[in-house]
Amino acid sequence: MSKKPIKRLAFENLTIEFGDKKIVDNCSFEFPLNRKIRMLFNNDVNKYAVLHAFTQVEGITQGKYFFNEDDVTQFSFEEFMSYRLNMGIGFSTRGLLHNRSLQENLLLPLMYHKMMSMDEALEHLKKFYEYFDISSVKDRRPAEVGPNMQKATLLIRAFIHEPEIVFLDNPEMLLSKGLYANLLQLIDDQVEKGNLKHLFFSTEDEDLSDCIADGFIIVKKNKFEFVENKKQMRLAV
């Protein structure tokens, strides 16, 4: 299955529920694209549930969620896959299979979706290993390496299939500050190559935000608001 380009991301009258609680209530919003956007969440909004809804189309109980002009709330898992293949996800510390090596974790999506041959995939991975220097531990399982290398693997996995759109939740969490510059380089390289077009991320690190963000989305239960700069962001939060 081939990737579908993502030219529009929007929702209308969207409600997201987590458990028995509404965390987004009847909101409409058009995502700004071709930018690197920091998302800030009000205290009464469950960040993980919102990001999970946007990337997995789960927890949406009302409204429409558009990729291009397709309302993907009506899509089956298989129908959504052509968009999902063009999306990268890096959520805090979740997602590594503990019974597989770091390299096997990275190979899995490439092999499962038949994006390239094994030889091509192994060669492809080498370029990404260089960003976080994980070549020496690539054959170890997650429990056999430190949190820093686990997080580096999760970040690589978000970009390994060269998606157009990437969602990152706290990319700095568990990542040593010495590797921040490598993360920035990875993002810049993917943009320069024309792969990465739309980045949405959350972070608690203001310095990292200053280096990446060229816009902000403030997420409230009843409203999503886009602002251009940090001064406007402080007024809106």
Query: Of 217, 236, 224, 225, which is closest to residue 35 (Cα–Cα)?
Result: 217
pLDDT the model gives residue 231: 79
| Residue 177 pLDDT class (50, 70, 90 cuts) | confident
Query: What are the pLDDT digits (tens) for 116-138?
Result: 999 999 999 999 999 999 999 99
DSSP 125-149: HHHHHHHHT-GGGTTS-GGGS-HHH
pLDDT the model gives residue 91: 84
Across residues 182-190, what is the average pLDDT? 96
Q: Does pLDDT of 62 surpass 80?
A: yes
pLDDT the model gives residue 236: 75
Burial of 186 (0-12, 13-18, 19+ CB in 10 A): buried
Across residues 21-40, what is the average pLDDT? 97
pLDDT the model gives residue 111: 95
Higher pLDDT, 228 or 187: 187
The angle at the Cα of 139, spanning 134 to 140, to the nearest 5 degrees, equals 90
pLDDT the model gives residue 13: 98
Torsion angles phi and psi, residue 224, rounded to 5:
-110, 135
3-state helix, strand, coil in the chain (%, to 5): 40, 25, 35
pLDDT the model gives residue 65: 98
Query: Of 135, 66, 60, 55, which is closest to residue 90 (Cα–Cα)?
Result: 55
| Residue 41 pLDDT class (50, 70, 90 cuts) | very high
Query: What are the pLDDT digits (tens) for 68-104?
Result: 999 999 999 999 999 999 999 998 666 899 999 999 9
Q: Let me know: does 57 contact 11? Beta carbons within 8 Å.
A: no
Name all domains of the chain by residue range, CATH numbers in brackets: 9-236 (3.40.50.300)
pLDDT the model gives residue 123: 96
pLDDT the model gives residue 68: 98
